[in-house]
Amino acid sequence: MIVANASIGMPKHDVADLALAAKGKKRILWADQDMPVLTAIRERFEIEKPLAGLRMSACLHVTAETANLARTLKAGGADLLLIASNPLSTQDEVAASLVKDFGIGVAAIHGEDGMSYYKHVAMALEHQPHITMDDGADLVSAMVFIALDKLEKLGGNQKPVQDWASKFTSAQRKTLFEGVIGSMEETTTGVIRLRAMEKDGVLKFPVIAVNDAATKHLFDNRYGTGQSTLDGVIRATNTLLAGKKVVVSGYGYCGKGVASRARGMGSLVIVTEINPVAALEAAMDGFAVMTMAEAARVGDIFITVTGNKHILGAEHFPLMKTGAMVCNSGHFDIEIDLKALEAQCTEIIPDIRHEVEEYRMKSGKKIFVIGHGRLVNLAAAEGHPASVMDMSFATQALATEYCVKNQGKLSNSVHPVPVEVENYIATAKLASMGVSIDKMTADQVSYTTSWEHGT
């Protein structure tokens, strides 16, 4: 059921079914057990209220882990509206529980179409946020497109936001950013988009690159994407990974994670890359490295994690073996050219299994597409486990506090997360794991800080 406006006693919401709340609450509390760093921050926020009086709009995957971040931001005093950053990642029961049990506004429905997705973006902007939080920079991009009068760019020409945005006079559009203190960005893809905005001079408030914090990308991108991507492939297909040739495209932190986990499951892993240093690293890490034209002929399972478009394109599908499985774990659904594949097919059979479609090619070959080419870890599984999202979302919460504390002092550009925040999170996570580490002696401190010690 869709309720677009706030009903009595409820925050603003547009969710699938509030009756799912009880199931969602169990999921949220289950995840919370594995998020001790975020819990400690929530307890402090509850007392100190660093976000008091601030409206926040967050465009994130609406999962149990995100719910615990939302609870933390609310504990800090924020009036939060959460919308989905991907139509297939929303956990409807979690969305329902956030509204009903935790009093947090949510506009997100699993499987929503482009119109609904962008209606929710419009709701997030109508919330007039002081702070925004993005997973892929859709929210900030929408604001920039509206301010620059580039309405045709909004979500690939989506009507609801255009209709909504066209209500603004040009004078109002220019003031769209007024009152915005800053924004947080969760992903590599989003940070790249935001740096491009900064370069073009269209970024009108500071952004904190949460993705670039060591406590985010070293763990979330590598171990989170590594495990949850294979989890998605396995849940969708129940295929045996041992002995399979798994082609991983892209050897950034996400690709490294997927490749190492696939090797751990006994797969023969092939890496494709365009960056010579990353390709060399993959080769010296012991992976086969080749072009996609070569890999396409031998791969059993293809996983794209590049952040770029058409990694698997028209020229590759005819080379593939029948029964090849293809999926994507990069942020947007652009890495596999599904239109080109469709053009080579006589039939697409949906629901071969949950989140698996069979593309029957004119040659009679079958190619299986998992998760519609969208993030396979969230479409076919539950995304990264809570333990790793603990660090990512602790970084988000503390970056938000930093952004607010430094209101007016940060330039309208992309900023790193302060190293003190990274060290706090790593120390707290180690403590929660019962791990102690050594401290430098005074003599060692002197050795590492002076240039006067010789060999």
Q: Which residues bind ligand ADE (CB under 6 A)?
A: 60-61, 63, 65-66, 224, 383-384, 389
CB 363 within 8 A of CB 355: no
State which residue has the least CB distance to ligand ADE: 383
Nearer to ligand ADE, 100 or 384 (CB): 384
Sequence-distant (≥ 6) Cβ neighbours of residue 65 within 8 angstroms: 31, 35, 383, 384, 386, 389, 390, 393
Tell me how far, at minimum, the Cβ of 224 lies from ligand ADE, in Å.
6
Nearer to ligand ADE, 59 or 367 (CB): 59
Tell me how far, at minimum, the Cβ of 53 lies from ligand ADE, in Å.
26
Nearer to ligand ADE, 69 or 181 (CB): 69
Structure tokens at 432: 């929660």
Nearer to ligand ADE, 145 or 223 (CB): 223
DSSP 320: S
Tell me how far, at minimum, the Cβ of 384 lies from ligand ADE, in Å.
4
Tell me how far, at minimum, the Cβ of 380 lies from ligand ADE, in Å.
12
Sequence-distant (≥ 6) Cβ neighbours of residue 247 within 8 angstroms: 269, 270, 271, 272, 292, 295, 296, 299, 301, 302, 303
- Which residue reads 């939060």 in tokens? 80
**Dist CA 262 CA 106 (whole Å):** 35
Nearer to ligand ADE, 206 or 383 (CB): 383
Helix, strand and coil content of the chain, in percent to the nearest 5, comes to 45, 15, 35
- Tally Cβ neighbours within 10 Å of residue 201: 8
Tell me how far, at minimum, the Cβ of 158 lies from ligand ADE, in Å.
23
**Dist CA 78 CA 61 (whole Å):** 19
Tell me how far, at minimum, the Cβ of 63 lies from ligand ADE, in Å.
4
Tell me how far, at minimum, the Cβ of 222 lies from ligand ADE, in Å.
12
**Dist CA 184 CA 170 (whole Å):** 27
Nearer to ligand ADE, 313 or 385 (CB): 385
Tell me how far, at minimum, the Cβ of 110 lies from ligand ADE, in Å.
14
Angle between helix 21-32 and 64-75 (nearest 10): 80
Nearer to ligand ADE, 299 or 371 (CB): 371
Full strand arrangement of the beta sheet holding 245-249: 288-289, 268-272, 245-249, 301-304, 324-328, 366-370, 356-361, 345-353
Nearer to ligand ADE, 245 or 261 (CB): 261
Nearer to ligand ADE, 66 or 328 (CB): 66
**φ and ψ at residue 288, rounded to 5 degrees:** -75, 135
Tell me how far, at minimum, the Cβ of 254 lies from ligand ADE, in Å.
10
**Dist CA 402 CA 389 (whole Å):** 19
**Residue 237 zone, left/alpha/beta (φ > 0; ψ -120 to 50; rest):** alpha
Task: Using alpha carbons, select from 380, 363, 378 the residue that is nearest to residue 324.
Answer: 363
Tell me how far, at minimum, the Cβ of 93 lies from ligand ADE, in Å.
14
Structure tokens at 306: 């590049």
Tell me how far, at minimum, the Cβ of 76 lies from ligand ADE, in Å.
19
Instruction: List, in sequence order, the alpha helices (H) in 64-213.
Output: 64-75, 92-100, 114-126, 138-147, 159-165, 170-174, 188-199
The letter for the amino acid at 225 is: T
Task: Using alpha carbons, select from 331, 388, 385 the residue that is nearest to residue 217.
Answer: 388
